[in-house]
Structure 1
Amino acid sequence: VKNILLIEPPFFRLYKETYSLVKFPLSLGYLAGAILTFKKDWNVKVINADFSPEDDLIDYNHLTGVGFNNYLKNLKDINHVAWDGIKEAIEEYSPKVIGVTAKSQNFAAARMIAKISKQLNPDCLVVFGGPHASMAKEQVLKDDENIDFSVVGEGEETIVDILKYADGKIKKDNIPGIIHREKGKIVINEKRTLMFDLEKFPFILDVAKKTLIDYEKYPIAAFRYLFALRGCPYNCSFCGSREVWTRKVRFRSVDNVIAEIKDLYENGINYVHFDDDTFGIQKSWIRELCIKLMKECPNINFSCESHCKVINDEIIGLMKSAGCKSIQIGVESGNDWMLKKLRKGINKQDVLDTCKIIKKHKIHLQTFFIVGFPDETMETLNDTIKFMFKIPVDTIVYSIFTPYYGTELFKDCEEKGIIPDDFDVSLYNHQSPENYFCPNIPKDIFIKKIRKLENKIDRINNARRIKTLFTEYGLAKVRERGIIKSAKRLCEIIFT
């Protein structure tokens, strides 16, 4: 039997064992679906090493304090429990190919998986993909000799070709979209063309049932995520999404999306989340989806992430009628000069108008903010903090700027000498206490200010979570989680 093992690295579990990514990773799900469809002579298994059946509420203070110290220690401790499932799966399945998806923040953990893989199975082919591989490109292979291939861009067709290579049917030079080694040199193959048929793979839940290790331990809500489109037309300077999906937006048909939602509903899921970068980017598509949701899926609720530029009263009213309970909006900064520098394409008034529309329709609202950009000043930072609490939102999602390989702001940080030549990605993520990339503000003042900000955000978010329980969104989440788990979560909020 020819086996391939696809792995989501641990990250939150390295901070605290009971922190968890309660989700079937969509990227691995689509890869597994491609293998099930086009390489049926291979057996594929997926393991989410960041999943724990216990699911504690994550708080910022732990991530930036004791949790970060745990993370650094456990990252290097091969005997930590987060690595056990990976080792067991490799020993049980003896995979010929091991695929690892990596973001920049979990790339160090992904490298540990490559090391474990080669220790337990020296002849296996280790393949890296995901956002970090697409953004860092050849640097991935330079960083680690245990990595054999790195995949740039979409991976479904590429993984099928890699398995053909493992079968001895094609040469690696003929696989578009990979970076590999040839006689000690790193070779970058030609780019792979974009996929425009996004409907040729099985639905994600069906894939999970066939491939996900410990499937039965997951709550059904872990499978409520889906993609309706790929690509983001915007060009934010801090974001690397376009390196994976490009700025060309490609859609699944509304009928295909509705069919998957019906499949989820038949399996006990009545709340879905669209994981698209910018949901509703095409108004005619979102109108058609909402009309069909109202007609064919009247008992489904959903949430999404959108952009201020695509929101208006008509669209939000339609989404509300179709079951939309929560919307996430990327604001990033509360200073118009900074927003322009980031090429967000919006200003503060756009944000206020958008939030007003969303709250008018009584939809739960989350806003994303980032502090500590390279050009951040005390004035822009204070403006952002003030704006965070001015907007009428239900949840504030806060991050510290992290420069990602391949983005314009990473290059900007390099050119300004803000980051060292031996930049260690394991030290930096959106809640890392090591993050400091804004030389216009003295480091001690910046750190003190954001620690105070984190405490305030935790307090406000917890208070708003309690209030939210008595809204349509809160009741929808209670139905999704169940009364016992919802009661446990409420106790965590009140007593932590």
Structure 2
Amino acid sequence: MKAALPLRVALVGPRETAYGDDPDREHREEMRRSYAEICRDAVALGSDYTLSREFLGIEYLAATLRRAGHHVRIFSAADEGLDDAQLVGRLAEFAPAIAGLSLLYDLQLPSALTAAAELKRIRPDTFVLFGGPLASAISELLLENFPFIDAVVEGEGETAMARLAEAIAAGGDLGTVPSLVRRQDSGIARSSRAAPADLDTLPHPSRDVIAGLRERGLPVPSAYLTTSRGCKAFCTFCTVPNVVRGMGEATYRMRDPRDVVDEMEACVRDLGVTRFYMADDNFLGYGEASNRRMIAFADEILRRGLAIRFHAECRVDSLVPETLVRLREAGFDQILFGLESGSTKTLKRWAKGQTVAENEAAMALARQLRLDVMPSIILLDWESGLDEVEDTIGFIERTQLWRSSQPLWLVNKLKVHCGTAAARRHDKVRGKPVLPHLDPADAASRARWCAAATCQKTPIDNPHVAAFWSALNGEANRWSVLVDEILPPLLKTLRDRARHEDGTALDRIRRIAAYRRGIGGALAELMRCLVDAAAEREAYGRPPASLEACARSAVAAFEERHFPSGIDAWVTPIRDRPVSARPLPAARSRVAVG
């Protein structure tokens, strides 16, 4: 094999596109505004790491390929505000020999397929490659249905991408590339997976996304960073078990704490970032070895005097109070617990491996340490009974999760992700999805196929639970639009007026702030009102009835306490910018009640 030549490699983080006919569509999935628009309208970005999203996976791939001498460009469609046509135009201009598209989850699939189809049409010699958790789960399905996809990488991609670039540059045999799934005359061929990467030998990820935002004059709330990979738990709804399957002892791997802090220090020095989101599947890890690593990590930050803050996702059964105290001293100020449910029955069905009592103890500890808790709750799934929903609402009330800075995160229905145990159970009970006729070259046909292949429609079995969910989420969507889209530019306008000694503007700012603070409590009351109404009908054997009117009445009463003349009438005179000059949305029902 001749020496590999430098290749032009494009690595793409596709934009997210909501499925328009999904009855469970949530407002935050619709991605109505670009990151630039969010930054323009926000008064303060705070610590919300969901505003911009780095694609750490492709940033690691970029660093690996650059170390091998290849010319790599990252295209982060959402952060750059690129629609599909603009993305394809940029890709065609770059003229890559390899275009790799990373699919984290279902909302990225339609855009990824559109970009791949158009790029292949314009540049048929480009090797089009898909990867990421979703692509790994449906690799054969993608290759069987979309001829413009040349191959899929399953699982971790660093070794596979380096070997693929080497093979393509040299005209070598793709059969030698590990973790690669591709077509052959005899059918779909699958290479054995690459050995799990030694995390301490990987280069630090290329921070192209952050650098690009900085060049455009946009703020960056936080940088993504991982201190470990993998997870030893097997929650039925999670995609990680499919990614780490077959890794044995390498299912969970940890980085050297000193190398992690080296990376953080470089981000502070080179990019001006002082907040980090630890994107580990379980930041605190497992057992004494993980505990020692966490203490060493905190000590290293303190020893170097890094003035940073960081937040992370953790399992509640990984908490060690003394370690959390040390991490708190080092800048750990916000924690996202995988609580998921307050129902014992639900936790068992989802194989969470933790108890309601452990969830409550974790919340008490976090509050004792003054950690800001971001709620991770899944209210129900398609099999839930009202008793399970009531248990979880009771848990939310006891722990006062609604006091979180993001209370609307409490409104979630479990999504059936491809490749998970939940998807296998769904297929067993309800049958595999019936895929519609597909024209690979037609965008609308691809979108319908994507919706079916990724289980976008999973109706709730219990009609009383369905009625509860429809009413609750209709109001949650309305609140989300208010909080995410309408109030931020309004507050910015009012703040500008207040600077010019407009006392009325300051009063309006205070009233909006009080309203926003009150949404959590109003949400908890709404949950209780709706579940009690649904439970009463179920207990008396009555058929389910729409609860939308009940929900609207409860929310209207809450809003009238803050805005006696109605919130729409109150905000309309303040609006003086086109972005905010649209009417407040009506509550949108998302599940039809039969």
- Which TM-score band applies after superposition, normalised by the shorter structure? 0.7 to 0.9
Aligned twin of 1:49: 77
Offset at 1:24?
Answer: 2.7
Equivalent AA in structure 1 for residue 73 of structure 2: K
Offset at 1:87?
Answer: 2.0
Shift of the 287–266 alpha-carbon distance from structure 1 to 2, 3 Å rule, reads same
Identify the match of residue 37 of structure 1 among 67, 87, 99: 67
Aligned twin of 2:8: 3
1:377 & 1:152 partners in 2: Cα distance?
A: 36
1:310 & 1:45 partners in 2: Cα distance?
A: 38
Equivalent AA in structure 1 for residue 269 of structure 2: E
2:234 & 2:217 partners in 1: Cα distance?
A: 36
Aligned twin of 1:164: 166
Alignment of 1:23 onto 2:53: yes
Shift of the 428–441 alpha-carbon distance from structure 1 to 2, 3 Å rule, reads farther
2:217 & 2:392 partners in 1: Cα distance?
A: 38
Equivalent AA in structure 1 for residue 277 of structure 2: H
Alignment of 1:375 onto 2:378: no
Q: How many residues align?
A: 438
Equivalent AA in structure 2 for residue 103 of structure 1: L
Per-residue CA deviations over 1:286-316 (Å, capped at 9, x if unaligned) read 1111112122134111111111001132122
Aligned twin of 1:98: 99
| Conserved? CA contact 1:90–1:120, under 8 Å | no
**Helix, strand or coil for the counterpart of 1:45?**
strand
Equivalent AA in structure 1 for residue 11 of structure 2: L
Please state which structure has a larger fraction of its residues in strand: 1
2:449 & 2:305 partners in 1: Cα distance?
A: 43
Offset at 1:372?
Answer: 3.5
1:215 & 1:203 partners in 2: Cα distance?
A: 17
Alignment of 1:306 onto 2:314: yes
Aligned twin of 1:82: 83
Percent identity of the aligned residues? Answer: 18
Aligned twin of 1:272: 276
Aligned twin of 1:405: 418
Moved more, 192-201 or 228-237: 192-201
Alignment of 1:260 onto 2:260: no
Offset at 1:356?
Answer: 0.8
Equivalent AA in structure 2 for residue 438 of structure 1: I
Offset at 1:213?
Answer: 6.1
Offset at 1:103?
Answer: 2.6
Identify the match of residue 322 of structure 1 among 330, 338, 351: 330
Please, which runs of 5 or more residues in structure 2 have no aligned partner?
1-5, 19-28, 36-50, 437-447, 489-508, 518-570, 572-583, 585-594
Offset at 1:15?
Answer: 3.2
Shift of the 444–362 alpha-carbon distance from structure 1 to 2, 3 Å rule, reads closer
Aligned twin of 1:112: 114
What is the RMSD of the two structures over their aligned residues, measured on CA atoms? Answer: 3.2
1:356 & 1:197 partners in 2: Cα distance?
A: 34
Aligned twin of 1:386: 394
Aligned twin of 1:242: 241
Per-residue CA deviations over 1:116-136 (Å, capped at 9, x if unaligned) read 211221221100000112222
Equivalent AA in structure 1 for residue 104 of structure 2: K
2:299 & 2:453 partners in 1: Cα distance?
A: 40
Aligned twin of 2:195: 193
Equivalent AA in structure 1 for residue 396 of structure 2: M
**Helix, strand or coil for the counterpart of 1:368?**
coil
Shift of the 375–258 alpha-carbon distance from structure 1 to 2, 3 Å rule, reads same
Aligned twin of 1:226: 225
Moved more, 2-11 or 136-145: 136-145
Shift of the 218–43 alpha-carbon distance from structure 1 to 2, 3 Å rule, reads farther
Per-residue CA deviations over 1:191-212 (Å, capped at 9, x if unaligned) read 221112443313443x558xx7
> Which one has the largest radius of gyration?
2
Offset at 1:447?
Answer: 4.3
Residue correspondence of structure 1 range 288-307 to structure 2 within 5 A: 288-307=296-315
Moved more, 282-291 or 18-27: 18-27
Moved more, 17-26 or 263-272: 17-26
Offset at 1:285?
Answer: 0.7
Aligned twin of 1:137: 139
| Conserved? CA contact 1:376–1:441, under 8 Å | no
Shift of the 459–162 alpha-carbon distance from structure 1 to 2, 3 Å rule, reads closer
**Helix, strand or coil for the counterpart of 1:333?**
coil
Aligned twin of 1:451: 473
Equivalent AA in structure 1 for residue 12 of structure 2: I
**Helix, strand or coil for the counterpart of 2:363?**
helix
Aligned twin of 2:555: none
**Helix, strand or coil for the counterpart of 2:134?**
helix
Shift of the 137–446 alpha-carbon distance from structure 1 to 2, 3 Å rule, reads farther
TM-score normalized with structure 2 length: 0.67
1:321 & 1:214 partners in 2: Cα distance?
A: 30
Per-residue CA deviations over 1:342-388 (Å, capped at 9, x if unaligned) read 11111111111101111111111011112342431121123223323
Please, which runs of 5 or more residues in structure 1 have no aligned partner?
54-80, 467-486
